[in-house]
Structure 1
Amino acid sequence: MTPESAARRPGRRPGSADTRGEILAAARRVFAEKGFDKATVRGIAREAKVDPALVHHYFDTKEGMFAAAMRLPVTPHQVIPLLLEGPREEIGERLVRFILRATSAPETREPMVALIRSAMTNEQAATMFREFISNALLYQVADRLEVPHLRVEAAFAQMFGMVMARHVIKLEPMASATPDELVELLAPTVQRYFAG
């Protein structure tokens, strides 16, 4: 194979300094146009004009790519084990503490709040957020714990409401409550959803 023919192979663009950034830009366009469920790694690779293997090289999964494209501070592969490993009777506390930790620093909170705000005002963003949260996270946890989807969605709604009240609306005293105060208040309720 000559150097010229190697340079023409799909996904082998010479001189690209930010292939990862180009893939993320393509992913944002494809997720916005098709939503999370209908977007594919192949379609994103085609949009970025790279080989699908290169997409997998940078982002192991479609979920990981979505989290990176939307600048989310966590992926389902980080959250699911956190919820499933450890005593089942402590899931509520682990979940509340995790959400409080993930939203405590501006660099992790701001992307989450931005996605929430977008989902509240833009139907495409709402569809992407709904599909991602439901299929990549909530239903995975529900099925592994053998808990009805409705119960896991109720636990999510509790956490979503807390993030909204604390960081978007900034309701007091919730906005300034300590993590321990909120864990004590919310963990038993969240646990009830998982306990049945």
Structure 2
Amino acid sequence: MAGRTGRRPGDTSTRDQILAAAREAFAEKGYDGASIRGIAAGAGVDPALVHHYFGTKDKLFLAGMNVPIDLDALVKQVLGAPRDEVGVRLVRAMVGVWDSPAGASAVAVLRSAMSNVEIARMMREFIVSQLLSRVIAGLGIDRAEAPLRTALVLSQVVGVAVTRHVLHLDPIASIDAEQLVAAIGPTVQRYLTGDVLPPR
């Protein structure tokens, strides 16, 4: 009898089964609680097959949410800036994602998060652990300060997305992207590296 290869007939159906299992696992357990092994078990495939199709958990999450973002490239782009320009670079990158044709999927997930607790948890965990925590770590920020700084940055970045693409509140909704970056970037920079903690 031939050994199990981990593959199932029909690549498209197998990929879809993995995505369905991933959406269910992320919804039930959140981003941090879901695992590749658990998702593979839910889809009835070998974990190696999940890696074959999607690579990493973050790429699987983005595929499951239908958000086509290259997260590694985005983090590299942001951290490639001088330290005092990382905030502007981060805002520019995020506004670029929200404003792009591909950003429509991200906005759809954001809308869902407004009314669905589980999707909100998934989105929060993903953005914090896979984007903002990597930026904070790349800046060498004290781990004790990281939670507050991360939450402040998240409030600004998500707030802009909600104002611009969900509420469509002018002038934020219609302002030029670079004007928005110029207005918001310094605030995010202060949240990342400036004085935001109360005096001891």
Same fold (TM over 0.5): yes
How many Å apart are 1:10 and its aligned residue? 6.0
The answer to whether the Cα contact below 8 Å between 2:81 and 2:89 also exists between their aligned partners in 1 is no
Q: Does 1:186 align with 2:193?
A: no
Q: Does 1:133 align with 2:127?
A: yes
Give the Cα–Cα distance (whole angstroms) in 2 for the partners of residues 97 and 56 of structure 1: 31
Correspondence list, 1:5-154, <5 A:
5-6=2-3, 9=4, 11-105=6-100, 107-147=101-141, 148-149=145-146, 150-154=148-152
Deviations 1:29-69 (A, max 9, x none): 11111111111101111111111111111112111111111
What letter matches 1:69 in structure 2?
A: G
Distance 1:67 1:152, change over 3 A: same
**Which shifted more, 144-153 or 184-193?**
144-153
Give the Cα–Cα distance (whole angstroms) in 1 for the partners of residues 73 and 65 of structure 2: 16
Q: Which residue of 1 aligns with 2:153?
A: 155
Give the Cα–Cα distance (whole angstroms) in 2 for the partners of residues 22 and 53 of structure 1: 15
Deviations 1:94-131 (A, max 9, x none): 112112211223x3222111111222211111221122
Give the Cα–Cα distance (whole angstroms) in 1 for the partners of residues 59 and 11 of structure 2: 22
Q: TM-score, normalised by structure 1?
A: 0.88
**Which shifted more, 74-83 or 110-119?**
74-83
Give the Cα–Cα distance (whole angstroms) in 2 for the partners of residues 96 and 126 of structure 1: 21
The answer to whether the Cα contact below 8 Å between 1:12 and 1:50 also exists between their aligned partners in 2 is yes
Q: Which runs of 5+ in 2 are unaligned?
A: 195-200
What letter matches 1:47 in structure 2?
A: G
The answer to whether the Cα contact below 8 Å between 1:24 and 1:65 also exists between their aligned partners in 2 is yes
Q: Which runs of 5+ in 1 are unaligned?
A: none
The answer to whether the Cα contact below 8 Å between 2:66 and 2:105 also exists between their aligned partners in 1 is yes
Q: TM-score, normalised by structure 2?
A: 0.87
Deviations 1:132-173 (A, max 9, x none): 122222222212312332113212211111111111000011
Q: Could you list the structure 1 runs, at least 4 aligned residues long, displaced by more than 4 angstroms after superposition.
A: none
Q: Report SS of the residue matched to 1:18.
A: helix
Give the Cα–Cα distance (whole angstroms) in 1 for the partners of residues 70 and 150 of structure 2: 17
Bigger share in helix: 1
Give the Cα–Cα distance (whole angstroms) in 1 for the partners of residues 74 and 155 of structure 2: 16
Give the Cα–Cα distance (whole angstroms) in 1 for the partners of residues 150 and 79 of structure 2: 13
Aligned-pair identity in percent equals 46
CA RMSD of aligned residues (A): 1.7
